Chains A and B, each alone.
Chain A
Amino acid sequence: QKEVEQNSGPLSVPEGAIASLNCTYSDRGSQSFFWYRQYSGKSPELIMSIYSNGDKEDGRFTAQLNKASQYVSLLIRDSQPSDSATYLCAVKGAGTASKLTFGTGTRLQVTL
């Protein structure tokens, strides 16, 4: 079983729509959750971090965390063509020695 799972996509949404990206993780003790955006050929860029159950909003982005279901999602409102990228979910377990584990990413395509 993969530690962090994402649908590879591509997820295609029209410009202006809401894009919903999902991620599940296997380590129930995980404490920290991150969404990164990665454009082709570039390194990942942090979009959101979330540590507590519930929603966290930042501009057009909303991260949602449900630890009981071991599920974290990212919503992108008013999707723009510039949002087209691969979105990586990353999860960190408890403790200083735990490492950050990445999902394989979901490719998002925002169409005109």
Chain B
Amino acid sequence: GAVVSQHPSRVICKSGTSVKIECRSLDFQATTMFWYRQFPKKSLMLMATSNEGSKATYEQGVEKDKFLINHASLTLSTLTVTSAHPEDSSFYICSARDPGKTYNSPLHFGNGTRLTVT
């Protein structure tokens, strides 16, 4: 199946700094990637849809200036949490759809990034 690689797996940063998370599709091209956030004991919430070569589509309530998404190539999407605050501490997970499949095929997830803002 499709493999999605995410880096770093864990990051601790100070309040006010920015953190970049990378998501790569291995062995396949992903024109669309999805960024999710998951708080403890809560479900995954879609933050934004990352589109290669164009602007990301953000879900309602997600600040686009705070969560910068760049999808500059067919295998790489990045999420930058700018001016991070403790309330941004969460588990961030990227995902991509099976390559060559239809729009309703399953998503495959990266290993996630545990962000802790102190």
Which of B1, B46, B93 contacts A99 (CB under 8 A)? Answer: B46
**Distance, CA A31 to CA B42, complexed state (A):** 24
Given that A45-B109, A49-B106 are known contacts, is A105 also in contact with B43, CB under 8 Å in the complex? Answer: yes
Majority SS at the chain A contact face:
loop
Please state if B114 and A43 are interface contacts (CB–CB under 8 Å): no
**Distance, CA A105 to CA B107, complexed state (A):** 17
A17 interface hit (Cβ, 8 Å): no
Please state if A43 and B110 are interface contacts (CB–CB under 8 Å): yes
Number of B residues contacting the other chain (C-beta, 8 Å)? 21
Residues in A79-112 with C-beta less than 8 Å from chain B: 88, 90, 92, 95-96, 99-100, 102-105
29 pairs from A and B in contact (CB 8 Å cutoff): A32-B105, A34-B106, A34-B107, A41-B114, A42-B111, A43-B6, A43-B93, A43-B109, A43-B110, A43-B112, A44-B44, A44-B93, A45-B109, A46-B1, A46-B107, A49-B105, A49-B106, A88-B44, A90-B107, A92-B104, A95-B103, A99-B46, A99-B49, A100-B34, A102-B43, A102-B45, A104-B42, A104-B43, A105-B43
